[in-house]
Amino acid sequence: MPLKISRILHAGYVFDCDGTAIAFDPIVENPFSRNCHAFPDVRFDLDQVRQLRLDAVFISHFHDDHLSLESLDFLDRATPIYLYCIFDELFQMIRTLGFEKVARLRVDVPVRVGAIEVIPRRALDDDVDSLFQVRAAGVNVLNVVDSWIGPETLAQLAALGPWDMVLWPFQTMREVAVIAPRLAGPARPTLPDDWLEQLQVLAPRYIVPSSCQFVQEDWSWYNHAMFPVTYRQFAREVGAAVPKASVLRLDPSVSVLLDADGLTQAAPLPWVIPVGAQEIDFDYRPGLAPPATADIARRFPALSEAEAALVLDFCRHGLLERYRDMELFEDSYFQQPRLWRLSLYRHDGAATVLHYRLDGDLIDLVPATDEAPSWTTDVPLAKCHAALVLGESLTSMYIRINDAAFDDATLAELREADITDDPLIRCLFNDAIGAYQAAQLKRLGYCVDTH
């Protein structure tokens, strides 16, 4: 029996072999992670999803575009869930959803599910995610998910070959460039050298561009600024670097059969339904000027008075408390006295502007003066609320760092600074493990208890 490999969406796959069916990082929402829209577009037959009887689900890490409780909620609760994660809270959340068989994955420890063996392999950032080696039907598949591979793991993987197929994370998303566009350099016009060298070492028969199959809202400038790699470019560069490999694009629902003799098309997943054109590609536009945050804020509905008050109370009080409780890195930009300006844009484009004086771990709200700020943060009020209440992730907040006119000396310092040193980012996301999943549980009507 060959191994059937079917694409769900983004990093999601179903592997079938000899009566065994398992899924990797299944997402059955569109959009997912609040504002990630399937690219190409799909919809899901959720009645069919509810009827699925998967033998196991494997999740590579806890990021919300890989571990979605609202997607898992459609699955039978008898399904074993295997998660690579160092945080106990996420396991408890899955159990709260009603899954009884929830197990922790460990690097290099195989898991056998019927006819399929899955072996987690070490990723470069092994505190966060893992790779998956899959063996079935006499074939050897590497699912890199959206990880990076370190030298030791590459040597190990080379020894574990030959590889029949590699699912490769092909998109080099420019998250920093869209958050701080004034300070961002141009995108590198080619794939990272490391990727091509590693694929040459692995030398698989088939290479699938994987783990980036989404765009933001249709009006979003991110769609032309954050995704610099096209499918065409990937196929061209990888084909030149690994000429013996076939580059195979798998769109949502598409299935193939893989065995020692080669690869053939198979019946698509019936519950993943393509919508519109599927042979579309990313459209990167270097040098694109970003719209003003005020204009972006107009895209979102007005908050209620209570919702707006919650955000402003946090910015005037809770933010200060959180900041004072955190410890700065030794090389933090804010180890020296700084004036920080935070602008919160309402649905009508008007802003509430707050000024803070920072010095190391100290922070105070101060009146506006004629002094020029040394750090600025602009964000739609609605998105700040979403981060506080819904666990919305940084890359969907449309936050804009240091989008102001600075003198040359300040600009030189800012170019050396880390944008994650931003006080709002740190106060919203520092130690916010599982915030998105906790918000999902509340939306689904479950009591959140991660202890």
Query: In terms of domains, do 254 and 166 share one?
Result: yes
pLDDT at residue 451 is higher than 60: no
Domain-ending residue, one of 274, 304, 333: 274
**Nearest of 280, 278, 207, 270 to residue 242 by alpha carbon:** 207
Six token digits for residue 114 = 């019927």
What φ, ψ does residue 278 adopt, rounded to 5°?
-110, -25
- pLDDT at position 184 is 87
**Nearest of 3, 62, 15, 19 to residue 269 by alpha carbon:** 15
Note down the domain range covering 316.
293-443
What φ, ψ does residue 168 adopt, rounded to 5°?
-110, 135
pLDDT category at 450 given cuts 50, 70, 90 is very low
Q: Give dist(CA 154, CA 62) in Å, integer.
A: 23
Question: Average pLDDT for residues 316-336, to the nearest whole number?
Answer: 94
pLDDT at residue 288 is higher than 50: yes
Query: In terms of domains, do 99 and 209 share one?
Result: yes
pLDDT category at 449 given cuts 50, 70, 90 is low
Query: In terms of domains, do 260 and 313 share one?
Result: no
Number of domains in the chain: 2
Residue 150 lies in a domain: yes
Give 431 or 136, the one with higher predicted confidence.
136
**60-89 pLDDT, tens digit each:** 999 999 999 999 999 999 999 999 999 999
Query: In terms of domains, do 265 and 308 share one?
Result: no
pLDDT at residue 168 is higher than 50: yes
Residue 282 lies in a domain: no
Q: Give dist(CA 32, CA 79) in Å, integer.
A: 22
**229-254 pLDDT, tens digit each:** 999 999 999 999 999 999 999 999 99
Phi-psi region of 74 (alpha: psi -120 to 50; beta: other; left: phi over 0): alpha
Numbers of helices and strands, H then E, in the chain: 14, 24
Query: In terms of domains, do 420 and 362 share one?
Result: yes
**Nearest of 2, 11, 1, 3 to residue 208 by alpha carbon:** 11
Residue 148 lies in a domain: yes
Residue 108 lies in a domain: yes
pTM of the model: 0.96
Query: In terms of domains, do 120 and 213 share one?
Result: yes
What rounded mean pLDDT belongs to the chain? 95
Identify the CATH number of the domain in which residue 107 sits.
Answer: 3.60.15.10
**185-211 pLDDT, tens digit each:** 778 778 999 999 999 999 999 999 998
Residue 323 lies in a domain: yes
Q: Give dist(CA 160, CA 233) in Å, integer.
A: 29
Query: In terms of domains, do 298 and 239 share one?
Result: no
- pLDDT at position 329 is 87
Identify the CATH number of the domain in which residue 367 sits.
Answer: 3.30.1050
Q: Give dist(CA 439, CA 448) in Å, integer.
A: 8
- pLDDT at position 190 is 86
Most confident of 235-244, 408-417, 425-434: 235-244
Residue 130 lies in a domain: yes
Residue 451 lies in a domain: no
Six token digits for residue 369 = 């003066």
Residue 281 lies in a domain: no
Neighbours of 226 (CB within 10 A): 24
- pLDDT at position 430 is 84
Query: In terms of domains, do 93 and 154 share one?
Result: yes
Query: In terms of domains, do 257 and 303 share one?
Result: no
Calculated CA dihedral for residues 276, 277, 281, 287, nearest 10 degrees: -60
Question: Average pLDDT for residues 132-155, to the nearest whole number?
Answer: 97
**Nearest of 205, 238, 267, 426 to residue 332 by alpha carbon:** 426
**375-398 pLDDT, tens digit each:** 999 999 999 999 999 989 998 999
Domain-ending residue, one of 274, 305, 322: 274
Q: Give dist(CA 422, CA 98) in Å, integer.
A: 38
Query: In terms of domains, do 21 and 143 share one?
Result: yes
Domain-ending residue, one of 240, 274, 308: 274
pLDDT at residue 27 is higher than 60: yes
Query: In terms of domains, do 205 and 258 share one?
Result: yes
Query: In terms of domains, do 51 and 197 share one?
Result: yes
